Structure 1
């Protein structure tokens, strides 16, 4: 690796390497110390190709979700089974992992800008801006950047586009799948919104059981599955299909929503 080699987005690999190492060291105890992250399915990661892999996940915090994924991915690739014990895996991390994030979120402070350099594909939301509902045209440059990232490595996306549960899957994710034909790996996380504030920066409560379930790649017929078919498969895969609500008592949902409001970090 040359000192000033750059990735397809013009980021210096050497600088990105050290940002990941430092951020990883600073965040490790959030998942292995303050809280207990239980991982299932890490063996799936070891069988994946180097490029054109799309991870789809439910979303609970802005930044902690991605931080946990970087820990789990790199620990698994270094030979650990369902564990992030011993941060030695950070010394040689996989450097072609990217994550899709809202551009306004990644410009909201110094830390988000650092995280953006470490692997963000920043896109403009077409449905929400500065807390207001909008209806904007998809920017083709955003779509092409996701394609560029898939061509170079792995991409993490949160197809609901929000940390609120049970929101619909954005159809743009299905269009990207149809266009690029990636291997689609679902991930289901839990416990993060109970551990951290909405941004995933401030620790709200310790001793929380966090779960991280990696599922086998989805079976997708890229020729015949419609966008709606793919959306439905994604909803079931990340356990956000409306039918899941039928088995969760409404009282429990209301209680959880009230707790989430209390846990929001107000500054």
Structure 2
């Protein structure tokens, strides 16, 4: 079964079919049952077709990245403020990949199907089979991402977890340093409220799903990995500075 999914991942026609099926199944939950607010999507039209890395905070396993795909597909058809009628699913972009932990893509037939459409499955460097581990980057995983960047756009979540303000993983900074892509930060909110952790079931209907696509980052690729990672975490608003802002906001609400 896994061999079958690996084979169809590289076939554009079948990838379009998978994106169409997954897109049609998820559109109501994103655009009708909940409310999607998109800011900055017009920035997508000026990006090159390859070597672009999108970095984002993470709130669910699947709803986040599926929403990004909807936005990217809609932008291809000139829709930058929202999704509108999803006719864009008839001809979606196929050269988009996303980085996902291998263990999260094996749960159901739906996640396996979605993985076949562009998942770059990697081994977590800090967790395996529910246990904490310590291991270095798998060279095969970094080569896989580098090959994808050479030909397309790639979406990644530097924290590798849905826990807010979790530390970023150095792997993202190594990829940036080695491949020197255009790095576009995305900040999301509301997904944790609307969906369960996997992002496949509703928790609260009528939630506002916010997606902000920022300007490409100005990165010194010769800077130390730690410095690049700090810059990325600040751009996706998951740094200590934003964590303190969040605490300050919470205390001000309590005081009122």
TM-score bracket relative to the smaller structure: over 0.9
1:35 aligns with 2:34: yes
Secondary structure, aligned partner of 1:206: coil
**Structure 1 regions of 5+ residues with no counterpart?**
1-6, 254-267
State the match for 2:192 in structure 1: 193
Q: CA deviation at 1:251?
A: 9.4
181-190 or 79-88, larger mean C-alpha shift: 79-88
The Cα offsets for residues 16-43 of structure 1, whole Å up to 9 and x where unpaired, read as 1101011111111111110001000011
1:246 aligns with 2:244: yes
State the match for 2:167 in structure 1: 168
The Cα offsets for residues 147-190 of structure 1, whole Å up to 9 and x where unpaired, read as 01101100000000100001111011000000000000000000
Aligned pairs, how many? 247
Q: TM-score, normalised by structure 2?
A: 0.92
State the match for 2:234 in structure 1: 236
State the match for 1:82 in structure 2: 81
Kindly report which structure 2 residues correspond to 1:33-112, keeping only aligned pairs within 5 A, or say none. 33-112=32-111
Q: CA deviation at 1:246?
A: 1.8
Does the aligned pair in 2 maintain the 1:8–1:148 contact within 8 Å?
no
State the match for 1:260 in structure 2: none
The Cα offsets for residues 57-78 of structure 1, whole Å up to 9 and x where unpaired, read as 0000000001100000111121
C-alpha distance in 1 between matches for 2:51 and 2:246: 35
C-alpha distance in 2 between matches for 1:139 and 1:229: 22
C-alpha distance in 2 between matches for 1:20 and 1:31: 15
C-alpha distance in 2 between matches for 1:139 and 1:102: 12
Pair 1:9–1:111, CA change in 2 (3 A): closer
Pair 1:129–1:174, CA change in 2 (3 A): same
The Cα offsets for residues 198-222 of structure 1, whole Å up to 9 and x where unpaired, read as 0000011111111000000000111
158-167 or 238-247, larger mean C-alpha shift: 238-247
